[in-house]
Structure 1
Amino acid sequence: MKQITSIHNSYIKELQKLQEKSKERKKKKLFLIEGKREISLAIKANYDFETILFVEEIITKKEVLDLFNGKTNSIIISKEVYQKLAYRGSTEGIIAVVKAKDFSLQNIKFQTKNPLILIAESIEKPGNIGALLRTADAANLDAVFIANPKSDLYNANIIRSSIGCVFTNQIAIGTSEEIITFLQEKEISIYAATLQNSNEYYKENYIKPTAIVVGTEATGLSDIWREKATQNINIPMQGEIDSMNVSVSAAIILFEAKRQREFKI
């Protein structure tokens, strides 16, 4: 089995670029996953793995082979090399080089005739995207659409903050216009979370095919969502401020939709 011990190795330098630069990830159509849990979720999601790099003093060769059922191209690396590539402070000793998936709307396949979808428009902070993906996984949504993305979904911070839920959700990326057209063609009702011309979220019915749309905490949703929505909705604020973290807001509305569906209200 090949070994790499130098941080100056040309292949390691290439992987550093993948870790740090979205442009490089898009060009190579590759990205890095760090940690056993996240790698396991990507395996379950049928991602294609190019190479596994691991520190033998931290994770054994047998553990790596067991993780991949013996089918893996593996490289043993030194702790110094691992630390050069790792994003997190914790040390699990394993990093995977993985082929990116196509997040086109055309690839979306609903397993039910009554989908519940989360749409996030122009969310900038990777941590918020990660939290939204965790919420979507917790609610077992049919899909998550990212409209007008500001961050690369394979950003290491998104993978970390989503605790791997970037791999557990069915995801599509597109412009707001493309996503709205998709929803209209599928006859999916649009509920836009916004203060303007809105109704309290719990007064609406989400039993039929539904998309919940959230935007940034600073500027909210763009006009097109407010104009094309089946209904604009809000979460009544009872304190001094007029907004909450976007992932918290999404969770409140989504779990109301799940409650209604469970009890067929």
Structure 2
Amino acid sequence: MTESPLGAIVDLLRTSPLDLGGDPDKMRLVFDEMIASHPVPADVRTTAAGLGGVPALAVTAGDGEPSGTVLYFHGGGYALGSAAASVNLAADIARRSGTIVYTVDYRLAPENRFPAAVDDALAAYRGLLERGVPARTIAVSGESAGGGLALALLVAVKEAGLPQPAAAAVLSPWADLTQSGRSHETKTAVDPALTRQALTTRADHYLAGADPRSPLASPLFADLRELPPLLIQAGTYEVLLDDALRLAAKAADDDVAVTLQTFPGAPHVFQGFAAVLAEGARALDDVATFLRTHLDGQPG
């Protein structure tokens, strides 16, 4: 029987040399090599940018003048990844939504410990506001740890008394650094990319003794009231599924407009395979529709 594209991606991830819980220096090289094997499409344009003193890349794709801004945070367990490595996924969002996407090079652990990443995220958001970009024309997004960071940013924005962005879309967010979700047990056998042990290692290195239940570390435990509309996506083949499910329930309980989408059989951050995976393409199309709806001032 011919294997489905989704099954092929799961198998590819199972045999990947990337170990999220491995030595950061070695795994950063592996991560960059994996990303470099996927060339950036010819219609993608990147420009170095600084937002509030934090390095970032401005990404646009396709034809036409971008309308609206997305502040994007890459994944990698707060230890791996970079703005450059996230360009393909950022460009997919930019192309589909017709926005300019700023993907942020926030400081990584263990060299830079919590709350360094949150401080950088907030500085980058302030940087956009100081450039005269209205909050109502900004959305935030991110995948995995970057999804958790995007949510932490919203909490930090509220604490700082700044205007909230128009919306947030998070992909397979890591929103609970205590690893208390039931899916850490129920999805262990099917998740091809993540383990509780690897996530605990990364959380320990990032937190360095800080409380993992801190709202800026684990937004699942934050007061989410007054946050903008959220779109949360996750695959059912990931140990972080419960992070998405519980986050959606907490947002609804806190009177936040929230849309939850789950994709059967999909692994962690399957949206990164949108070029070859129908589920990934459909998910990013939904992200784009959600972003455009709220950036255009038409609440759903």
The interval holding the TM-score normalised by the smaller chain is 0.3 to 0.5
**Structure whose CA Rg is larger:** 1
Q: TM-score under structure 2 normalisation? A: 0.30
- The answer to which structure has the higher strand fraction is 1
